[in-house]
Amino acid sequence: MATINPYLNFNGNAEEAFNFYKSVFGGEFTGIMRWKDMPDMPGCDKLSDSDKEKVMHIALPIGDRNVLMASDVSESFGQAKAEGNNIQISINAESKEEADRLFNGLSEGGKTVMPLADAFWGAYFGMFEDKFGIQWLVNYDYNQK
């Protein structure tokens, strides 16, 4: 069964916010990636020096199966945090087939932002906005236990 995790967007203070959340919930980050860590991909040349230092992804496990995740939006990619787009729902699928089924079903009538494809962090990943305006991330980690 897939798990659902909240994914928050910040305007440059994701790391500060997550250090605060960590002080309350405890635990350790499973990782932190900055925009500058992204391999050469289309659009990377657009990143400003200030955007390169922002958080591309941070995750804090909470309890047994919950993970709070976030990133700083990148002005270089034309993103801006505004009311309604400061949270996304992240689904971690248990198989590539489940990821396809969830992505295709939930995105029907919506707008694909990033089609499902292999990602540089070792996952099968895609993003979309559903027909109700809700933003979703679908991820299948190839190295699941």
CA distances from 45 to 39, 42, 62, 128 (A): 11, 8, 35, 23
Give alpha helix (H) positions in 65-144.
96-107
Residue 35: inside a domain = yes
> End of a domain among 36, 52, 83?
83
Domain assignment of residue 45, yes or no: yes
Q: What integer is the mean pLDDT of 94-121? A: 93
Tokens of 40: 């050469």
- The count of domains in the chain is 2
Q: How many CB atoms lie within 10 A of CB 82?
A: 10
In whole angstroms, what is the distance from residue 29 CA to residue 38 CA? 19
At 8, which CATH number?
3.30.720.100
Spell out the residues 6+ positions from residue 44 whose beta carbon is closer than 8 angstroms to its own: 38
78 and 110 belong to one structural domain? no
Averaged pLDDT for residues 106-110: 90
Q: What is the pLDDT of residue 3?
A: 85
Tell me the residue range of the domain where 110 lies: 93-145
102, 49: one domain? no
Question: At 142, is the pLDDT very low, low, confident or very high (cuts 50, 70, 90)?
Answer: very high
Same domain, 14 and 68: yes
Q: Is residue 47 domain-resident? A: yes
The last residue of one of the domains, among 83, 108, 126, is 83
More confident residue, 77 or 97: 97
Contact 98, 140 (CB under 8 A): yes
Q: Which of 62, 83, 104 is the last residue in one of the domains?
A: 83
- 62: its two tokens: 């909470």
Q: Look at residues 49, 47, 48, 55 and name the one whose alpha carbon lies nearest to residue 8.
A: 55
The 8-class DSSP code of residue 94 comes to S
CA distance 69 to 18: 9
The single residue listed with the structure tokens 């605060």 is 20
Same domain, 73 and 109: no
In the predicted structure, residue 144 carries a pLDDT above the cut 60: yes
- The secondary structure element, H or E, covering residue 35 is none
Percent of the chain past pLDDT 70, that is, above it, reads 88
